[in-house]
Chain A
Amino acid sequence: MKSMRYLLLLAVFGLVAVYSCSGEPVDAGVVLQRGIPADPETLDQHKARSTQAADVLRDLGEGLVGYSPTGELVPAGATGWKVSEDGRTYTFHLRPEARWSNGDPVTAEHYVFAFRRLVTPATAAFYANMLADVMNAADAVAGRVPAEQLGVEAVDDLMLVVRLERPTPYLLSLLTHPSTFPLHPASVAEHGDSFARPGTLISNGAFTLEAWVPGSVLSLRRNEHFWNDAATALDGVNHHVVVQDAAELNRYRAGELHITSTVPPDNFEELKVQFGDELRVAPYLGIYYYGFNLLKPPFKDNPELRQALSMAVDREQLATKILGRGEVPAFSWVPPGVSRYEPTVMSFATLSREARESLARRLYKEAGYSEERPLKVELRYNTSDTNKKIAAAVQSMWLNVLGVEATLVNEEFQVLLANMRDAEVTQVFRSSWMGDYNDAHTFLSVLQAGNAANMPRYANDEYESLMQRAASQVDAERRRLYLEEAERVMLADHPLLPLYFFVSKHLVRPEVGGWGDNVLDYHYSQHLSLSATE
């Protein structure tokens, strides 16, 4: 008995001793601690699709173009570019001093290699459509032509030519996306699809991947071969995976994180008081909306009903009372702050509450419903505290203003997504859309017929033709007019119920320098610095 107990204790202490000295990356120098909400699913830039993967990839790599801390396009891998008259040929001059983390120079061929891999069907890249406007891209993704026929060419080591199917004014924004970063061909050839691991990943950005403990932390280290390494203030960045908002907040308060990825939804006023300037809230390129299933009753062919439901929602109250973190009530589809665009606003945005509600009631009647014959509808949303709050509020508003009897159905995200795609059981469903690049097109294209992200299944000929015409415009002003008209046409149809525009919210410690609020919520670690702490 005694000996067994001692044995057990001994074994345990042995374990402790072994693991106490386990290989967690030793921090040396100035290291920034950031929180991310989940592990990147992969660091293969072609197979990644989550925001957290993109954030880490932006620290590891660099594309032709980048963003400044305040969201302006700046040269990165390319020093400059020329656009042809017809807007369909871009010539990029690459930076001669650009290097990979193993010292190899970055050449145009590396970009070509990466672009081809992006559109290769076998890669199954989610963001293959980043290059959708490049000549032959669509055909390559569908497998109709080999990827070698993609309209990109390395004229020489430092000159890259990109040929487009149509003028694409927002092409440069697209080229900031990690899926368009170059790849080191020898590395991919040698390691195949597992080239993106610590120790084998060769990156051309400000940092290299030193270690990755899945579920825990990604450790990045300064890339000494980076062409702009002299300007990089940080020696390392640790991205800590923290799933729960509350836990992240605790770690921030305990001094373990310099930057959080988000802020818990409750008690926002308290947080403002407690943290003051450390709390950074900025408009974000994303919209939270309720979609209507346009393929089935009751919303099929019933624009009055849709409009009534839309008007019955008090968006101001939602944004201020329920969310209260600076979210903007949404009366349009495209968020404010998108470059070179003025979103159309729905007609009832300026009405007083009473006027709006009485108009809603009239439309409701016209749609064939009343107190005696109320609309019974299901509102689906995926599990989250915020979603629950909003759904409960909207349910309550519909009931009070119109007498609508809404049932709330809470589903796990994968389930909801499957239901939305099938469009069989859904009636009203919660969804959201985040812009991939800073142009109205990233939002308006969603509602084109045939787009997989078109959850309401909106299909309108006038909308389509306006979008087509916008796509063929070279002149930015003409294009903008067509896009704005398209949005107006779509909003008048009420295929969805915009609720609010997202804001990005972070806690940032005062000693972090170089943080810029921008509408894309990109915060490259290479722009950040840490001043001496206490």
Chain B
Amino acid sequence: MLRYTLLRVLGAIPTLLLVIALAFLMVHAAPGGPFDDERVLPADVEANIAHAYHLDEPLPKQFVRYLSGLLQGDLGPSYRYRDYTVSELIGNSFPLSLQLGALAMALAVVVGVSAGTVAALRQDSYLDRLVMACSMTGISVPVFVFAPVLVLLFAVKLQWLPAGWSSASGGARLVLPVITLALPQVAYIARLTRASMIDVLGRDFIRTARAQGLGTLTVVRLHALKPAMLPVLSYMGPAVAAILTGSVVVEEIFGIPGLGQFFVRGALNRDYTLVLGIVVFYATLIVLLNLVVDILYGVIDPRVRYR
């Protein structure tokens, strides 16, 4: 187990380097620089700035400089938010994105699994059709359509919830973003669960349990749920990626200063260090996450350990 873990970690390092190099090249390949603006810089001022930020050095040198900074935990200053360092920006925004994503994920799993289970238990009934229809809508309508519609309804017309992140504090401002973010995942997980649950419920051991006189709910809870959840569990990886993608849209619409927002702004503003910092941060994080998932898998299903 330990050896397996270590090997995985070591294997990840070259890929991380490759990722960083790739991101570095792409950002620098983009035409335009971080200090361009609607107004034009006088030539000597421009030279001064370029020098101050080492932008006049050859690319490989800049890359090495960046890497050595990384090793010391320094992600550099942001070019766009000049009063802040990249580490600060990531430090402020990541917990927000995490909170949003975790809540959305939790909501998606709880609601999705429940809906899928109910649908499976009442297969081909009205309820089943309703759940399936809703989940079909959830994966067929893009997030950037849902979110404004919900904002229009709940924030502008009904004024029950805040339209913008900075205009409220506490839980109320989380409601709409989390729901919007979770919707496509709820839909997908519901479908997955339903299919999987139907499959499991048809198996022999379930029939045995039923024959033993156990109520449906008990059967589901004790026997069917765990195996039915396996496809959902393996979907968790892609689900995280999907939530990440969705978070960029949701953060933009609600004005949430999360990591996704900063990344997009950074890419469009050529804020080299911020973009690189976020890529590095995320890549490292997800590698770790994968590791955790693998370990969990080993815990749930011991057979996996001895591959």
Within 292-316 of A, Cβ neighbours of B (below 8 Å) are at none
> Chain A's nearest CB lies how many Å from the CB of B198?
19
Q: Is B282 an interface residue (CB 8 A)?
A: no
Q: Give the nearest-CB partner of A240 in chain B.
A: B166
Distance of A42 Cα from B35 Cα, bound (Å): 13
A1 and B300 contact, CB distance less than 8 A: yes
Query: What are the interface flags for A6-19 relative to B under an 8 Å C-beta threshold, 1 for contact and 0 otherwise?
Result: 00110110011001
5 additional A-B residue pairs with CB within 8 Å, beyond A215-B93, A254-B155: A124-B45, A213-B166, A214-B89, A413-B32, A414-B36
> Chain A's nearest CB lies how many Å from the CB of B111?
13
User: Which A residues lie within 8 Å of B226 (CB)?
Assistant: 1
Q: Is A468 an interface residue (CB 8 A)?
A: no
Query: What are the interface flags for B245-269 relative to A under an 8 Å C-beta threshold, 1 for contact and 0 otherwise?
Result: 0000000111111100110010011
Distance of A125 Cα from B258 Cα, bound (Å): 30
User: Which A residues lie within 8 Å of B257 (CB)?
Assistant: 213-216
Query: How many residues of chain B have a CB within 8 Å of chain A?
Result: 68
User: Which B residues lie within 8 Å of A527 (CB)?
Assistant: none
> Chain A's nearest CB lies how many Å from the CB of B256?
8
Distance of A124 Cα from B35 Cα, bound (Å): 12
User: Which B residues lie within 8 Å of A142 (CB)?
Assistant: 44
> Chain A's nearest CB lies how many Å from the CB of B7?
25
Q: Is B286 an interface residue (CB 8 A)?
A: no
Q: Give the nearest-CB partner of B103 in chain A.
A: A12
User: Which A residues lie within 8 Å of B42 (CB)?
Assistant: 128-129, 141, 452
- A: residues with CB less than 8 A from B are 1, 4, 8-9, 11-12, 15-16, 19-22, 24, 33, 39, 41-44, 47, 49-50, 121-122, 124-126, 128-129, 141-143, 194, 196-197, 212-217, 238, 240-244, 246-247, 250-251, 253-257, 412-415, 417-418, 421, 432, 434, 452-453, 455
| Most interface-central of B37, B43, B148, B159 (chain A CB within 10 A) | B37
Distance of A418 Cα from B166 Cα, bound (Å): 35
Distance of A125 Cα from B39 Cα, bound (Å): 13
Given the interface contacts A41-B82, A213-B257, A215-B93, does A126 sit within 8 Å of B167 by beta carbon?
A: no
B156 and A126 contact, CB distance less than 8 A: no
User: Which B residues lie within 8 Å of A12 (CB)?
Assistant: 102-103, 106
Interface of chain A, main secondary structure: mixed
| Most interface-central of B81, B164, B168, B169 (chain A CB within 10 A) | B164
Interface of chain B, main secondary structure: helix
User: Which A residues lie within 8 Å of B255 (CB)?
Assistant: 215-216, 240-243, 247
Q: Is B64 an interface residue (CB 8 A)?
A: no
User: Which A residues lie within 8 Å of B261 (CB)?
Assistant: 215
B36 and A15 contact, CB distance less than 8 A: no
- B: residues with CB less than 8 A from A are 30-33, 36-45, 48-49, 52, 80-84, 89, 92-93, 95-96, 98-99, 102-103, 106, 110, 148, 151-152, 155-156, 159, 162-171, 174, 225-226, 229, 252-258, 261-262, 265, 268-270, 296, 300
B82 and A421 contact, CB distance less than 8 A: no
Q: Give the nearest-CB partner of A42 in chain B.
A: B82
Q: Give the nearest-CB partner of B296 in chain A.
A: A4
B31 and A418 contact, CB distance less than 8 A: yes
Distance of A214 Cα from B38 Cα, bound (Å): 21
Distance of A526 Cα from B32 Cα, bound (Å): 38
Distance of A254 Cα from B110 Cα, bound (Å): 31
Distance of A285 Cα from B258 Cα, bound (Å): 35
B102 and A256 contact, CB distance less than 8 A: no
> Chain B's nearest CB lies how many Å from the CB of A359?
34
User: Which B residues lie within 8 Å of A9 (CB)?
Assistant: 106, 110
Distance of A255 Cα from B158 Cα, bound (Å): 11
A254 and B163 contact, CB distance less than 8 A: yes
User: Which A residues lie within 8 Å of B80 (CB)?
Assistant: 39, 41
Among A11, A41, A242, which residue has its beta carbon within 8 angstroms of that of B164? A242
> Chain A's nearest CB lies how many Å from the CB of B300?
7
A43 and B159 contact, CB distance less than 8 A: no
